[in-house]
Amino acid sequence: MRDGVGGTQMDLGIKGRVALITGGARGLGLAEAEALAAEGVSIAVNDVDRDAADQAVSRLKELGVNAAAFIGDAADEAVVVNLTKQVVGELGRLDILVNNAGIGARPSYRVQDMPADAWDRMVHIHMRSTFLWTREAIPAMRSQGWGRIINTSSMNYTGGGRAGVSHYVAAKAGIAGFTRTVAKEVGSYGITANAIAPGYVETDLIGGFTSEMLAVVREQNPLRRLCTPREIGSAVAFLASSNSAFINGELLCIDGGRREFYWG
Ligand SMILES: NC(=O)c1ccc[n+]([C@@H]2O[C@H](COP(=O)([O-])OP(=O)(O)OC[C@H]3O[C@@H](n4cnc5c(N)ncnc54)[C@H](O)[C@@H]3O)[C@@H](O)[C@H]2O)c1
């Protein structure tokens, strides 16, 4: 079996827990949902795309777990406040929060050409959603004395920045810094907060890449390939598990060892 597409299921000690995944209808979010469902975790799928979220829920139910869609903009305060209550009401608890919702780094602009609206939109969707869901999830996790918060940064930040996408890099750097602080604030409640920094993963987000660009991405990676969504899912399941209990405030690079950008 090829690396990244298979693997054996482990008992990660989280059966019966409830996870909420923002942007969980497709791509990394769906793979993370599937990996957690394989461990017996019930899944709340938040997304703006109702049809895709309903399909994701059907797929997760086929894996034998309870799952439901919670539709709405992950960066809208009223939506997040209401949906968090609905998740706890319908699924009984909230143990694992995966802040994953996001948009691609395109269109790209050098800083001197960056429209303020493009900057605001990028920071708003990534950072505001991560802040809001974290804020709303903490009381539920604290009352249970256990929680896992997993945020989504990017190799675009850990790789030292990339020319043309300062809005995306700034948002992903902000998420990494936010995670470190949250980890210090919630550790004493039995909650950990960590972030992942994926390299290029085969999802719709990089659908605009030409075959030439993808060839360069493969060539520049020590493993000579892109990451699969499943590989992100298994890392998130580990961070959500009891096996990772003493890992807190960490930024986990899942980039095949690439760690650097040569473009731009
Ligand atoms: N694909 C990669 O190579 C890669 C690399 C590093 C980091 N990331 C990050 O991983 C996350 C997921 O990326 P992906 O590749 O799975 O993207 P994707 O486009 O395949 O899926 C993103 C999902 O998020 C949803 N979404 C977008 N905005 C939302 C909002 N405001 N509220 C609720 N849902 C919303 C979309 O409808 C979609 O279902 C993003 O934060 C992205 O920045 C991706």
DSSP annotation string for the chain: --TTT-------S-TT-EEEEETTTSHHHHHHHHHHHTTT-EEEEEES-HHHHHHHHHHHHHTTS-EEEEES-TT-HHHHHHHHHHHHHHHS---EEEE-----SPSPB-GGG--HHHHHHHHIIIIIHHHHHHHHHHHHHHHHT-EEEEEE--HHHHTT--TTBHHHHHHHHHHHHHHHHHHHHHGGGTEEEEEEEE--BSSGGGTT--HHHHHHHHHHSTTSSPBPHHHHHHHHHHHTSGGGTT--S-EEEESTT-------
Percent of the chain's residues with pLDDT above 90: 87
Reply yes or no on whether the pLDDT at 259 is more than 80.
Answer: no
CA dist., res. 178 & res. 1, Å (int): 38
Q: How close are the terminal C-alpha atoms of the chain, in Å?
A: 36
**Which pLDDT score, from 0 to 100, does residue 162 have?**
84
Q: How many residues does the chain have?
A: 264
Whether residue 102 has its Cβ less than 6 Å from ligand 1: yes
Whether residue 47 has its Cβ less than 6 Å from ligand 1: yes
Please state the rounded mean pLDDT for residues 96-122.
96
Residue of 17, 45, 15, 40 whose CA lies nearest to 29: 45
CA dist., res. 106 & res. 114, Å (int): 12
Q: Under a CB-based contact definition with an 8 Å cutoff, are residues 43 and 65 in contact?
A: yes
pTM of the model: 0.97
**Which pLDDT score, from 0 to 100, does residue 113 have?**
98
Q: pLDDT tens digits, residue range 201-222?
A: 999 888 888 999 999 999 999 9
Pick the residue whose CA is nearest to atom 43 on ligand 1: 102
Whether residue 152 has its Cβ less than 6 Å from ligand 1: yes
Reply yes or no on whether the pLDDT at 47 is more than 90.
Answer: yes
Residue ranges per structural domain of the chain? 2-254
Catalytic residue check, 168: yes
The mean-pLDDT minimum among 112-116, 143-147, 204-208 falls in 204-208
Q: pLDDT tens digits, residue range 167-199?
A: 999 999 999 999 999 999 999 999 999 999 999
Q: Under a CB-based contact definition with an 8 Å cutoff, are residues 11 and 243 in contact?
A: no
Ligand 1 mean position, distance from CA 30 (Å)? 10
Q: Which of 28, 80, 169, 236 to mutate to test the pocket of ligand 1 (most atoms within 8 A of CB)?
A: 28
Reply yes or no on whether the pLDDT at 8 is more than 70.
Answer: no
Reply yes or no on whether the pLDDT at 150 is more than 60.
Answer: yes
**Which pLDDT score, from 0 to 100, does residue 7 have?**
65
Q: CATH number of the domain at 2-254, please?
A: 3.40.50.720
Q: Which of 21, 45, 47 to mutate to test the pocket of ligand 1 (most atoms within 8 A of CB)?
A: 47
**Which pLDDT score, from 0 to 100, does residue 6 have?**
72
Closest atom, ligand 1, to C-alpha of 198: 6
Percent of the chain's residues with pLDDT above 70: 97
Q: Which of 120, 124, 205 to mutate to test the pocket of ligand 1 (most atoms within 8 A of CB)?
A: 205
Mean pLDDT of the chain: 95
Please state the rounded mean pLDDT for residues 230-255.
97
Whether residue 196 has its Cβ less than 6 Å from ligand 1: no
Q: pLDDT tens digits, residue range 56-93?
A: 999 999 999 999 999 999 999 999 999 999 999 999 99
Would you place residue 261 in the very low, low, confident or very high pLDDT band (cuts 50, 70, 90)?
low
Reply yes or no on whether the pLDDT at 262 is more than 70.
Answer: no
